[in-house]
Amino acid sequence: MSLVMHLAGLIPCIYFSYVHLFGGVFWYGLVVLPCTFAILVSLFLLFTQPDSQSYKIADVWFLLLAIPPVLLALTRHDMHGEFFVPPLILACFIHLPLKVAERLVLAVSIVAVVLGVNHLGIHQGIRFGIGIVATHIFAWGLARVLVKQHNELKDLAFKDSLTRCYNRRALFDELLKAKQQDKRSGIKAAIVLLDLDHFKQVNDQLGHNVGDQVLVWFAHFLQQNTRVNDRVFRYGGEEFLILFHDADFDMAYKTSEKLVSTIAKIKAPEQLSVSFSAGISVIKDGESIDDWIQRADMALYQAKQAGRNQTWPSQFTSAEATD
């Protein structure tokens, strides 16, 4: 939540906690107090750890803890809880995952309408219910628009505009996750760095438009012939990188060689025959991401030196491969 939204929740929480603990309905003050502490923690984390998981969890706890006092306020004439239900609905849709918010807010809305009719009477209660339904629909529609825009911005930020593969910005995020998973759980990951053979000739002889068609076709080929949980990235130019999750060297090598043999049997746009060279490296303990990629890049270089259209593992040297 932003600072403004924190203040919008903090001010009434502090006010109702103080008023009811020191002269009002004591039990209600106790109900509001946890909500006050939760938003204070969230506000502290906003300034100290704005990108942490703890900050997100504190936000969720504040919204969950805000539900009981808001609904309980509908049971008393002097608390005017009807004024706080719409902001709560809006805040839940904005700050909770959409599917969670849909179910939670539906339950809150139903309870609020029932309590509102009982508290305000049939005529005022119906008006209150209509307002809640309108707020619910508006907030739900707004949340869907925000989710769509978020996904579109994420798509623009983390995907290559030509091939629709993930880009280098997304690559380092994924490699960091794989590195952390290896450190935490010992689950290995492997990368295969691929480079289309003699791609410059395609651009020089047939033009960049055909070259772009080949790149799009090759990206689709890689995505169609890898597992769902693997990731294909455009590393740069005609270079692509595949991240194999939960994979050892043998699995990555066999997959890469299968790709080499499969692509030899099919035609690219303009009936072109396409091949690629590849280098493999499996993550090592204590290794940096740059070193991990560098080993794959060195293996790719060796594959090209050895004649292209093949896969080389990073742990081999030229002499070992010859033997």
pLDDT at 321 over 50: no
Q: Tell me what the mean pLDDT of segment 5-12 comes to.
A: 86
Q: What is the pLDDT of residue 242?
A: 96
pLDDT at 122 over 70: yes
**DSSP string of 122-188?**
HHHHHHHHHHHHHHHHHHHHHHHHHHHHHHHHHHHHHB-TTT-SB-HHHHHHHHHHHHHHHHHH---
Catalytic residue among 174, 238, 257, 287: 238
Q: What is the pLDDT of residue 152?
A: 86
Q: Tell me what the mean pLDDT of segment 255-266 comes to.
A: 94
Residues in the chain, how many? 323
Q: What is the pLDDT of residue 287?
A: 87
Q: What is the pLDDT of residue 260?
A: 95
Q: Tell me what the mean pLDDT of segment 226-246 comes to.
A: 94
CA distance 11 to 20: 14
Question: For the segment 136-189, what is each residue's pLDDT rounded down to a tens digit?
Answer: 999 999 999 999 998 888 888 889 989 999 999 899 999 999 999 998 888 999
Q: What is the pLDDT of residue 69?
A: 93
Q: What is the pLDDT of residue 315?
A: 57
pLDDT at 5 over 90: no
Q: Is 238 a catalytic residue?
A: yes
Q: What is the pLDDT of residue 1?
A: 56
- Cα 106 to Cα 37, 74, 110, 184, 322: the distances in Å are 26, 17, 6, 39, 68
CA distance 14 to 88: 16
24 vs 316: which has the higher pLDDT = 24
pLDDT at 319 over 60: no
